Amino acid sequence: QVFFQNDSLLSGPATYEVDNVPATVRGFDIEDPWNVQRVEPTAATTLGSTGRRYVFANATTQQARHLLLADEARGVVPPPARRVNFRAIDPVKPNFIIITHPKLMQAAGTVPNVARAYANYRASTAGGAYDTLMVTAPQLYDQFHYGERSVIALRHFSLWLAAKSPATQTKYLLLLGKGIAPGAQVTTTPVSDAAPDNREGSNANNLGRILGENGLDLVPVSTRSTSDTFLSSDWPNDNLVPALATGRVVAITPQEALVYLTKLQEYEAQLSPTQLDPEPWHKNILHLSGGAKITEIPAFRAHLDAYKRLAERPLFGGKVSTIQRVYTSDELPVTRYIPEELNTGLALITYFGHGSTTQVDVNIGDINDPTTGYANAKKYPIMMYNGCSLGNAFTNTSTFATDWIFAANKGSIGMMAESGLSYEYLLDPAQSLTYQLLFNDPQWFGRSIADVRREVVRRLQYNFSYNPKTSGNLWGTEQLLCTIWQGDPALRMYAPAKPDLVVSNATLSLSPIAPDAAISATSTQFTLNIGVSNPLRITRDSVEIRVTRSFPAPRPSVTYVFNNHLDNLGQLQKPFPQAFQRDTTYSIIIPNPSTLDVSGDNKFTVELDYRNKIAEQSETNNTATLNYSFLKRGITLLTPTEFAIVPSNRPRLTAQSNDANGPVRSYDFQVDSVATFDSPGLQTQSISARVIANWTPPRALAAKQDSAVWYWRARFTNPVGTEDADWQVSSFRVIPTALSGGWSQSHNGQFNRDRLAGVAVASPSNRWSFAAQQQALTLRTAGGGAPGSPFTFGVGGYGITTGSTVPDISTCAIQTPNLVLVVFDQYSLQRVAVAGAYSTCGQPGQMFYHFATDNTGADTLDNLNNSAARRAQLLDFLSKVPDGSYVA
């Protein structure tokens, strides 16, 4: 048999003369398989006596038809019939169905039958205790499609199972084996049109029905727009929701299937919904933001940022980081390896951008390339890739997805992506809804990826953009029907069943409240910091807290509760909102009772959710204690008051004991010109006094500069019991001609207890500095041509960008020689207006100055190249720019 096509450019019927062919060879016009035309040969006119002439009457101009020469004496005889025994299958009981191929029911490593091992795992307690059913594609050809190898056999089987299933039962369908898309080559190496095996002769891609499985087409896939949900959805009646939650593992060898099974077992062993203190990586998500055009980059990033907000909310409370492509006109794709993120652990990688089966805008590399440093054993992320063809695993070559899925001990556990063309306006709503269901919806939190996808299809299929009856096209149908889940259909993301509020002794601390530098028994109030962790489910339940403060006996304890009750002062003490991330700190202001001596060892007992209103995974880790010794701050410095201005260089320094009935005792005094009290001019003395201690430095306070600042301090020489042994410190400034009553805070040491924001003061130079301000600035332009040539400066993406918004420069005379400028203030980095009659363009917040008149054609005279007036205008503009400003 010889298959061929006629040349549609020739006139008249297609005519062929063939030498040395048997007289029993006939021609056939097989263009219409339902109306095959038989062509009788005649004697050749240009060949010898054994030549035959074949005239195909309908193969004329304007059409290439499929033709055939075949020897009728050597007919193709089908093999003899064989007996087929149908398998008795109960369609009701099984809820995890595997369709595989005998090729994958072979040994790999120490496993004698990999497909059977997969089914056994899913039937085990660790694998979910499913009622499993495993069949092969060849079995289904016989039992559901009259012995013909076709994906329709799989569809008939799937619909039969769905029709017999109880309404409340979720059935999972695993397609364990690769399929080859109709029209794709079904050989492991490309086949040319002229190859001997190409018996159709016209198109090397149309070999599927002739060459059979060929070791690749093991579990068939659907139509040209490949879809696995095609098998169980009622698409003829406009219902695209698959009746069976479907996933596919596109293995072609038992070894590949075993690699995936091993990774699946490792992955699911860590997902117990009742486990405590899981590894933090289970909540880590990485977003990859692509885009080819300058306008796409911020748009795609905006989509991912919206998903980020969903993932970081309850119930998941994830931690999301983003890698965004920076625009360059000549670099696509951008390579960005992620070994740090991947090896630490990622639960999910989501990409939004352009794609193919092997490339995306942000390329994270070959998982099997050792130079990438990828080693994420047992930490396998799910991938959701939004871009063209990334889900198309139905060719004769490996893809980015299959490389990552079948990488042993590393890589991914599955990928969700479309097999055909993708469009931003269709991808975004579907991905957004997927995040909402996976991370925020209690009904769907913890459900399998394939099951969540079913719900996404159900909710979107009748929306305007997805419904061909309203949108006028089938792109939405393709997006919903042809998104492929390459992974186990029952696979779930990490989804704890309950929250678990955890507090420990190590996460409790006290901190002073200004102006106190330290906490003591005389502090009016202080802050109790409560570090709380919730590594499990995040909910919107408020956290009630009870704090019990115990004092040395016989003083009674004090309890503070935060549960929407009114305290003794009539103030509402609200509970605390549950944090949306794993770790947070609640800060509570605790007063020191004025009527109670709080000195000595105090014990703070903190109880979270003390009334057990929140159903937690564990109720045994909600209590922690903190012990703190409150010392009596034995001394108060009276005069000079803090930061006072005094006229005398021998001021009287006065301190007071806080015990009004205290005995006569020794007080230490010091005064110095530096806050560290270690200069050569340090003066120190001990004096005895009862309650009020006065000291005048024996030497006059002398400094090199006028109006100097002096530091002084006092303490008990021999503190007893709970008295504070630390120095009490203050400062003053000597200005001989000043009047009493003013104050001055000017030396660096006087700011030690202050909270500085945006400024800093250096010691000992006393020099002030402001925190640096930075303004990101991106400039993108393009060169022009010779005078009179067409312009090369397009609108999209060019100009000066100071934020994430792409500037609008369409009115900036971009089609003629020009200079576009912006001026920034040297201190604030804000845009500066330059006074004068200059041309401006852009939009509010992103205005520019320019020096030309636009023209849609070639150069005009009103530009910097040809106009002296324009050049003078530019010089005048530059002369009026404020000194020190930045010009871009």
Say whether 5 sits in a helix, a strand or coil: strand
What DSSP state is assigned to residue 741?
A: T
- Interatomic CA distance for residues 159 and 653, integer angstroms: 96
Do residues 105 and 115 lie in contact, with contact meaning Cβ atoms separated by under 8 Å? yes
- Interatomic CA distance for residues 172 and 454, integer angstroms: 11
- Interatomic CA distance for residues 605 and 603, integer angstroms: 6
What DSSP state is assigned to residue 507?
A: G
What residues contact 535, with CB distance under 8 A and at least 6 apart? 276, 277, 278, 280, 500, 502, 582
Q: Please write down the HEC assignment for all residues of 519-555.
A: CCCCCCEEEEEEEEECCCCCCCCCECEEEEEECCCCC
Do residues 479 and 418 lie in contact, with contact meaning Cβ atoms separated by under 8 Å? yes
**Residue 372, token pair as written in the block:** 């990438």
The mean predicted confidence, pLDDT, of the chain is: 88
From the CB of residue 756, how many other CB atoms can be counted at a distance below 10 Å? 10
Cross-strand pairs, 546: 561, 607
Alpha carbon of 121 to those of 126, 177, 246, 582, 727: distances in Å? 7, 17, 18, 33, 70
What DSSP state is assigned to residue 438?
A: I
**Residue 104, token pair as written in the block:** 């994958």
What residues contact 852, with CB distance under 8 A and at least 6 apart? 813, 816, 817, 818, 819, 839, 860, 862, 863, 864, 870
Cis, peptide link before residue 764, omega less than 30° from 0: yes
How many Cα atoms occupy the beta-carbon half-sphere of 844 within 13 Å? 0
What residues contact 570, with CB distance under 8 A and at least 6 apart? none
- Interatomic CA distance for residues 713 and 727, integer angstroms: 6
- In the sheet that holds 37-39, the strands lie side by side as 2-5, 66-71, 25-29, 37-39
**Residue 14, token pair as written in the block:** 């297609």
* Packed helices 424-435 and 296-311: angle between N→C axes, nearest 10 degrees: 10
Residues of the chain with pLDDT under 50: 190-209, 794-796
- Interatomic CA distance for residues 691 and 689, integer angstroms: 6
- Interatomic CA distance for residues 858 and 850, integer angstroms: 18
pLDDT of residue 276: 86
**Residue 808, token pair as written in the block:** 């609008």
- Give pTM, 2 decimals: 0.73
- Interatomic CA distance for residues 324 and 66, integer angstroms: 50
**Residue from 741, 724, 747, 751 nearest 599 by CA:** 724
DSSP string, 231-286: GTEEGGGTEEEESSEEEEE--SSHHHHHHHHHHHHHHHTT--TT-SS--GGGGEEE
- Interatomic CA distance for residues 453 and 776, integer angstroms: 40
Amino acid at 237: N
How many Cα atoms occupy the beta-carbon half-sphere of 181 within 13 Å? 19
pLDDT of residue 852: 83
**Residue 435, token pair as written in the block:** 């995040």
The residue written with tokens 């207006």 in the block is 833
Q: Locate the DSSP E strands across 736-796.
A: 759-761, 768-770, 778-780
What residues contact 407, with CB distance under 8 A and at least 6 apart? 259, 367, 368
pLDDT of residue 632: 74
CA angle 315, 320, 322 (to 5 degrees): 150
- Interatomic CA distance for residues 883 and 826, integer angstroms: 9
End-to-end Cα separation, the chain, in angstroms: 74
Phi then psi dihedrals of residue 280, to 5 deg: -60, -25
**Residue 199, token pair as written in the block:** 């018996």
What domains can you pick out in the chain, each with its CATH number? 2-74 (no CATH), 252-486 (3.40.50.1460), 502-630 (2.60.40.10), 635-770 (2.60.40.1930), 775-887 (no CATH)
**Residue 837, token pair as written in the block:** 């009659």
Distance of CA 421 to the CA centre of its chain: 23
Q: Please write down the HEC assignment for all residues of 342-394.
A: HHHCCCEEEEECCECCCCECEECCCCCCHHHCCCCCCCCCEEEEECCCCCCCC
**Residue 220, token pair as written in the block:** 């068939």
DSSP string, 175-201: EES----TTS--SSS---TTSTT-SS-
